Amino acid sequence: MRILAVAQNTFREAVRDKVLYVLLFFASVTIFGSKALGWISIGQDIKIVKDLSLASVSVFGVLIAIFVGTSLVYKEIDKRTIYTIICRPMHRYELILGKYLGLAMLLAVVTVTMAAVATGYILLLGGSVNATFYCAVLLIYWQLLLITAFAVLLSSLTSPILGAIIVFMVFVAGHATGIFINLPPQFQGTISEKVLRWVYYILPNLSNFDLSSQAANSIAAPPGFVGWALLYGTVYTALLLALASIAFEDKDV
Amino acid sequence: MKRGGLIAVVLATAAFAVLVPVQWRIDSARQGGFDEELLYLPQKDLLKHFTAGLSGVVADVLWLKCIQYTTMHFKGDSKFTWLYQMCDMITTLDPHFTDAYRYGGIFLAAIKADDDSSLKLLRKGAAQNPDRWELPYEMAVVYLLNRRDEPGSAETAAMYLKSAVETGTAPRNIAEFAANLQSRHNLNDMEEAMWKEMRNSKDKMMRDLAERKLSDIALRSACAALTKAAELYKTKAGTAPAQLSDLVSAGIITGIPADPRGGSFILEPDGRVQSTTLLDALKERRLNQLRASLKLYHEQKGSWPPTLDDLKQSGVSGFVPSPPYAGQSWKYDPSTGIIE
């Protein structure tokens, strides 16, 4: 119950944030403006609209997760409002989980809104949307949950600006993890190969949540892919939230 | 308007009065630099990892650049040095972007005349997207158009067309084209195997078409067997048979096969045996072809051609097909354009 109360408060607070509406506005402009690119693409307008819609959900979702997530706990400490919370009969981890849940709810609303706008626009343009498109949206949301957990962890460890930079770097690196495993032949059998293989498994592999090529080209997702990706995201997110709770538990506020 | 607003408008106007000509200068300085821009793109395998999950969008942007590049060189020096690399990069970023393989393959084969690169790109696409008929179809077209003088090209094209039809998604005309090509190059066995497979298609239309084509093959085989029997009759009797029943009377065949589609077999003056079912279908196709040419002539000239030969002379049609039945001619009315 206490977690839910914190979540509701966090959600209400985030909804009032003007940055959210600015980001949503730019996401909508990107989705609606994508048709213009389609005009010169030799019949690829619907594909481009789908690609840009999914990219908007991902990029603007990540921006919201980073900007709001990295300041979630830090703001409470900075404004000293944390004392009014932790003096109440609640565990610190409940605060972390509540804050996370509130932001996850906000991201769910944002993702569903953007997906609905994209669907309406694609249908209006005479295209069709199949199940793979929604699977891609679901995976993007799962990726946002993971990024948010990372942002919450950093929010309880460092300042929002530094946290935002680190989370953004993790976002970029998370999509480039394949580079650590597909090494040139000269790396074979070296220590570097082993180290980089470990890096591959330690970093969050965000390409696991990328189904945009199949969605934009209306191709079915590989069997089992979505289920395994959801499991991967759930376990990784749970780990990050546990680490965030431990870090905040030990934090001297 | 308030004083502040007025100052802002004046400042913006002054700034853009400078910015626009400066932009012109930058654009003219950059002209011809488009190719160099492509040179500095990272290696395709590296680029895929650094798109932060936006490889589809990057592929779309590169596709637009590719169209620009092709158009620019098509109107200019007709050198498409980076076309294959661009298409390769786009399809590495988005392996399911079928139209990038397809149009890239067409650009390479038809505009650059680089059929090797075109086939390489199309093969890559077919491997990634085995369910798409367009890619083996385009490979067949490359073999038929760019490599037509190469020995065995028609057979290779027929093989690719068979693959296209086997996807079960190819339009009906592609399936017919595949069958025609095969029969033209005496590839009956391959054709029969293809249609037998097509008989198991999930699509009813394709199944019906397969049944029809298998029936055509059976009729063609029967015609070939009867023609051989007529040749044997001529060798034995010293004269050509007057009618098909002579073959039965002479004991060369036990009976004249029945046509399940209601037609009959006829003996042509040159000794060949033909099926009226097949000849009627061929006549209809040729008539349709002629009607389309007549319509085009009428649209261009505003009147019907005085004779059918005028279709050829005016360049509307490459040739005027004759009726498939020996001794027949088209009934053409130049006042109405009606042909029968």
Three-state SS string over A156-213 comes to CCCCHHHHHHHHHHHHHHHHCCHHHHCCCHHHCCCHHHHHHHHHHHHCCCHHHHCCHH
How would residue A141 be classed by pLDDT, with cut points 50, 70 and 90? Answer: very high
**Option in A43, A175, A212 nearest B56 (CB):** A212
Q: What gap in Å lies between CA B34 and CA B32, rounded to an integer?
A: 5
Q: What is the pLDDT of residue A33?
A: 82
Q: What gap in Å lies between CA A123 and CA A139, rounded to an integer?
A: 22
Tell me the shortest Cα–Cα distance from B336 to chain A, in angstroms. 40
Q: What dihedral angle (degrees, nearest 10) is formed by the CA atoms of A44, A46, A50, A56?
A: 90
Please indicate whether, in this complex, the C-beta atoms of A37 and B60 are within 8 angstroms of each other.
Answer: yes
Residues from chain B contacting residue A178 (CB–CB below 8 Å): 48-49
Q: What gap in Å lies between CA A66 and CA B195, rounded to an integer?
A: 58
What is the percent of chain B with per-residue pLDDT over 90, rounded to a whole number? 8
Contacts (Cβ under 8 Å, ≥6 apart) of B270: B326
Our CA angle for B210, B212, B218, nearest 5°, is: 100
Query: Which whole number is the average pLDDT over A202-209?
Result: 90
Q: What is the pLDDT of residue A143?
A: 95
**Option in B48, B56, B67 nearest A40 (CB):** B67
How would residue A148 be classed by pLDDT, with cut points 50, 70 and 90? Answer: very high
**Are B99 and B132 spatial neighbours (Cβ–Cβ below 8 Å)?**
no
Which H or E run includes B17? helix B3-30
Q: What gap in Å lies between CA A241 and CA A77, rounded to an integer?
A: 19
Q: What gap in Å lies between CA B258 and CA B235, rounded to an integer?
A: 26
Q: What is the pLDDT of residue B35?
A: 59
**Option in B63, B98, B103 nearest A217 (CB):** B98
How would residue B65 be classed by pLDDT, with cut points 50, 70 and 90? Answer: confident
Our CA angle for B83, B174, B158, nearest 5°, is: 75
User: What chain A residue is nearest to B130 in terms of C-alpha separation?
Assistant: A219
Which range has the worst mean pLDDT, B90-99, B140-149, B204-213?
Answer: B204-213
Residues from chain A contacting residue B60 (CB–CB below 8 Å): 37, 41, 44, 47-48, 51-52
How would residue B199 be classed by pLDDT, with cut points 50, 70 and 90? Answer: confident
Residues from chain B contacting residue A48 (CB–CB below 8 Å): 60
Chain CA centroid to CA B185, Å: 17
User: Which 3 state secondary structure label does DSSP give B165?
Assistant: helix
Q: Report ipTM (2 d.p.).
A: 0.73
Which range has the worst mean pLDDT, A137-141, A179-183, A205-209, A241-245?
Answer: A179-183
Chain CA centroid to CA B119, Å: 15
What is the tens place of the pLDDT at every residue in A83-138? 777 777 778 888 889 999 999 999 999 999 999 999 999 999 888 888 899 999 99
**Option in A43, A171, A216 nearest B56 (CB):** A216
Q: What is the pLDDT of residue B187?
A: 58
Average pLDDT score, chain B: 81
CA-nearest of A127, A120, A119 to A46 is A127
Residues from chain B contacting residue A171 (CB–CB below 8 Å): 52
Query: Which whole number is the average pLDDT over A136-151?
Result: 94
User: What chain A residue is nearest to B47 in terms of C-alpha separation?
Assistant: A176
What is the tens place of the pLDDT at every residue in B242-277? 888 888 888 888 888 888 888 999 988 888 888 999
Our CA angle for A127, A129, A131, nearest 5°, is: 160
For residue B308, the tally of other CB atoms under 10 A from its CB is 19
Q: What is the pLDDT of residue A237?
A: 94
Please indicate whether, in this complex, the C-beta atoms of B94 and A213 are within 8 angstroms of each other.
Answer: yes
How would residue B15 be classed by pLDDT, with cut points 50, 70 and 90? Answer: confident
Please indicate whether, in this complex, the C-beta atoms of B57 and A214 are within 8 angstroms of each other.
Answer: no
In sequence order, what are the beta bridge partners of B215? none
Residues from chain A contacting residue B97 (CB–CB below 8 Å): 47, 213, 217
φ, ψ of residue A32 to 5 degrees: the values are: -70, -35
Q: What is the pLDDT of residue B46?
A: 73
Q: Name the residue ranges covered by the structural domains of chain A.
A: 2-249
**Are B148 and B125 spatial neighbours (Cβ–Cβ below 8 Å)?**
no
Q: What is the pLDDT of residue A140?
A: 95
Q: What is the pLDDT of residue B164?
A: 84
Average pLDDT score, chain A: 87
How would residue B184 be classed by pLDDT, with cut points 50, 70 and 90? Answer: low
**Are A148 and A100 spatial neighbours (Cβ–Cβ below 8 Å)?**
yes
Q: What is the pLDDT of residue A149?
A: 93
Q: What gap in Å lies between CA B260 and CA A115, rounded to an integer?
A: 56
Query: Which whole number is the average pLDDT over A175-184?
Result: 81
Our CA angle for B238, B240, B243, nearest 5°, is: 140
Tell me the shortest Cα–Cα distance from B96 to chain A, in angstroms. 6
Query: Which whole number is the average pLDDT over B308-321?
Result: 74
**Are A249 and A93 spatial neighbours (Cβ–Cβ below 8 Å)?**
yes
Residue B286: exposure state from Cβ atoms within 10 A (0-12, 13-18, ≥19): middle
| pLDDT reading at B30 higher than 80 | no
How would residue B204 be classed by pLDDT, with cut points 50, 70 and 90? Answer: low
Among A34, A46, A48, most B C-beta atoms within 10 A, so best to mutate, is A48
How would residue B290 be classed by pLDDT, with cut points 50, 70 and 90? Answer: confident
Q: What is the pLDDT of residue B284?
A: 80
Q: What is the pLDDT of residue A101?
A: 93
What is the percent of chain B with per-residue pLDDT over 70, rounded to a whole number? 86
Buried b (16+ CB within 10 A) or exposed e, B130-142: eebbbbbbbbbbb
DSSP alpha helix (H) spans, chain A: 2-15, 18-38, 45-69, 72-78, 82-86, 92-124, 131-155, 160-175, 178-181, 191-202, 212-216, 225-249
Query: Which whole number is the average pLDDT over A59-77?
Result: 85
What is the tens place of the pLDDT at every residue in A13-47? 888 877 788 888 888 888 888 877 777 667 788 88
Residues from chain A contacting residue B96 (CB–CB below 8 Å): 213-214, 216-217, 219
Please indicate whether, in this complex, the C-beta atoms of A58 and B54 are within 8 angstroms of each other.
Answer: yes
| pLDDT reading at A65 higher than 60 | yes
Longest dimension (CA), chain A: 63
What is the tens place of the pLDDT at every residue in B117-153? 899 999 999 888 888 888 999 998 888 877 777 787 8
| pLDDT reading at A234 higher than 90 | yes
Tell me the shortest Cα–Cα distance from A234 to chain B, in angstroms. 19
Q: Comparing B200 with A129, which gets the higher pLDDT?
A: A129
| pLDDT reading at A145 higher than 90 | yes
Q: What is the pLDDT of residue A231?
A: 94
**Option in A41, A44, A217 nearest B96 (CB):** A217
Which chain A residues touch B if contact means CB-CB below 8 Å? 37, 40-44, 47-48, 51-52, 54-55, 58-59, 143, 171-172, 175-179, 182, 206-207, 209-210, 212-214, 216-217, 219
Entry pTM? 0.63
**Are A103 and A155 spatial neighbours (Cβ–Cβ below 8 Å)?**
no
